[in-house]
Amino acid sequence: MVSWYVSMPWIIVAVHGSQAMEQIVVSVVVVSVTPPDLW
């Protein structure tokens, strides 16, 4: 499950390009502040 959260932002980059960077930053922050038991 963790690997999915790690790889997903890069998949988004590959598909959508650099304009998705803001979404990636938000996603990383959300994942970082989410306790593992909620995954």
**DSSP for residue 39:** -
Quickly tell me which residue has 């990636």 as its tokens.
Answer: 24
Evaluate if pTM is beyond 0.85.
no
pLDDT tens, residue by residue, 1-39: 556 666 776 776 677 666 667 777 888 888 888 776 755
| Angular region, 35: left φ>0, alpha ψ -120 to 50, beta rest | beta
**Per-residue pLDDT, 2:** 59
pLDDT for the residue numbered 6: 67
